[in-house]
Structure 1
């Protein structure tokens, strides 16, 4: 297909070239030879009357004009994918859709392990890929390379839809036989104790450390930093340390490990978990169905036990 003398297939190549900034890697993704990919770049340069990518040392660097093109090109391709090439038939029972989600291991444990079981009952051929949060999570969503991202409110991306899923509290958790801690914690005790925390990404974003710094002007005494939430309770057993955890995850592990939950010595703001998706997917029937199922399951979990629907049902 051509538009104003531009072969629209070249936009796919341009999108990959701007992302990879490397002829060899772009060729691999496009399933083309390096010489053919270089030829495509030449055609793009001729059409746009710009070098687009220039060699700087061993790397290729996008020109200012190429950087301006990157976002609209990606938006066009996403619109084509979601609106033009998408099948109009909506049938979860026969769908073989593959969904890519960014979510923490905490949410997989307390939510998605059960959500996927429920969804399999209605849509047995749907598959999932769960990706850990990272420094490039927002970029992946904005490029349309993931279907959903479930993150705290501060990570909402302007210009893309977001829906509040639930609110979460934090609790302090210690080993059940920790003789240094009674039924409550003072702030002084809390700050003197060794802490276990979670850090994500190259910059080691800590789960609640930023809030403590802004509120009190000092750091907790971090003795252990792990890279996922599920190891927090396991690392507490047999120690005198404390971890500040999501209540749902703490309650889950307290069923299996010798742990005690205590209220924090200070009021920690409620964490609001949001579901985010690229705006081009807003009207996609299967995508909307998945969002509704996730939201319905959360609502059922948050109802009082006596008002909840039978476990086998899903609203």
Structure 2
């Protein structure tokens, strides 16, 4: 395939068509007429040898190939936008750049308020987009880092890429305050006998403190798995379940639900949140500003 023969505008058209699933709406999104967008769709169909969009009744549905193209198309558009938005210098006071960071609801809860305060004072037009961490994004971390401004998550999951440390935290254990099994406090035995609510259960996804339990000979009896941290207190309160949670988040959520917070009965690996990024961003003035800003946020909340 000769890349020079392809029209970059077709990538933007494909992205809009896959997301909107409607020719008229996709055209409106790109500022194109319906006939012009239909012509783009026809060119894309010839290129891929696939219908991409199939009318079913009054709506369009994606073909299997089109559905498979959604993620890679989104990543490609992000990379192209970053290439053409690069500048030799960066002025946060006037820039309208959008930074995209993959992270957990926990990290957004802890650093979001201070980050937005700084942006409001120094970069009023800069926008932040936070994408939720999930297992596929971390398993294919190179693609994730190339197509975003970075990933904020603890040490122990990503290696071989540059990073800057942002803030530290520690693990605690949530339980219902009236759990009769814990009347005399939480022990190591309880970690193996009480039911758990776990987060991101899997070999590449579990929290480091949870993975530590296996090395200590403790196999948690997982009763429920969720892919976020903020719901943990609500799934523990009024039950016999326990859960590992970061101390900073537990403090923030204390006003919304009644849970007892117990220190870990073992030396849990501390949480050290960092911004991981691809080396291609290293010399970008805007990215340097983002890294420095996140480091400053960490200093304010530590």
In the superposition, the TM-score normalised over structure 2's length comes to: 0.70
2:274 aligned partner:
274
**Residues in 2 aligned to 1:5 and 1:125: alpha-carbon distance in whole angstroms:** 35
**Residues in 1 aligned to 2:264 and 2:3: alpha-carbon distance in whole angstroms:** 65
In the TM superposition, residue 183 of structure 1 has moved relative to its aligned partner by 5.4
Alignment of 1:218-297 (within 5 A): 219-254=219-254, 257-297=257-297
Alignment of 1:1-315 (within 5 A): 6=4, 10=7, 77=80, 80-81=83-84, 83=86, 86=87, 88=88, 90-138=90-138, 139=140, 140-144=143-147, 146-156=148-158, 158=160, 160-182=161-183, 184-199=185-200, 205-207=205-207, 211-212=211-212, 214-217=214-217, 219-254=219-254, 257-302=257-302
Alignment deviations for residues 161-200 of structure 1 (CA, whole Å, 9 cap, x no partner): 3212233321112222333214532211221112222237
**Residues in 2 aligned to 1:127 and 1:5: alpha-carbon distance in whole angstroms:** 32
Alignment deviations for residues 262-313 of structure 1 (CA, whole Å, 9 cap, x no partner): 22222222233220223232222222212211111211222xxxxxxxxxxx
**Residues in 1 aligned to 2:262 and 2:209: alpha-carbon distance in whole angstroms:** 19
**Residues in 2 aligned to 1:231 and 1:76: alpha-carbon distance in whole angstroms:** 33
Alignment deviations for residues 31-78 of structure 1 (CA, whole Å, 9 cap, x no partner): 775765775898xx9xxxxxxx787xx7669xxxxxxxx9xx999957
**Residues in 1 aligned to 2:119 and 2:192: alpha-carbon distance in whole angstroms:** 43
In the TM superposition, residue 216 of structure 1 has moved relative to its aligned partner by 4.0
Q: Any stretches of 5+ residues in structure 2 without a counterpart? A: 51-62, 67-72
Is contact 1:134–1:200 with CA below 8 Å preserved after alignment?
A: no
Is contact 1:198–1:229 with CA below 8 Å preserved after alignment?
A: yes
Compared CA separation, residues 125 and 80, structure 1 to 2 (3 A): closer
In the TM superposition, residue 246 of structure 1 has moved relative to its aligned partner by 1.0
**Residues in 2 aligned to 1:242 and 1:34: alpha-carbon distance in whole angstroms:** 55
Compared CA separation, residues 269 and 209, structure 1 to 2 (3 A): closer
SS at match of 1:197: strand
Alignment deviations for residues 139-167 of structure 1 (CA, whole Å, 9 cap, x no partner): 452442x2221012233253x43212233
Is contact 2:164–2:275 with CA below 8 Å preserved after alignment?
A: yes
In the TM superposition, residue 232 of structure 1 has moved relative to its aligned partner by 0.7
Q: Any stretches of 5+ residues in structure 1 without a counterpart? A: 46-52, 62-69, 303-315
Compared CA separation, residues 291 and 240, structure 1 to 2 (3 A): same
Alignment deviations for residues 200-233 of structure 1 (CA, whole Å, 9 cap, x no partner): 79x9944358615641455311223233111111
In the TM superposition, residue 96 of structure 1 has moved relative to its aligned partner by 1.3
Compared CA separation, residues 76 and 250, structure 1 to 2 (3 A): closer
Alignment deviations for residues 65-113 of structure 1 (CA, whole Å, 9 cap, x no partner): xxxxx9xx99995784355xx3x45321222111222111111111123
1:306 aligned partner:
none
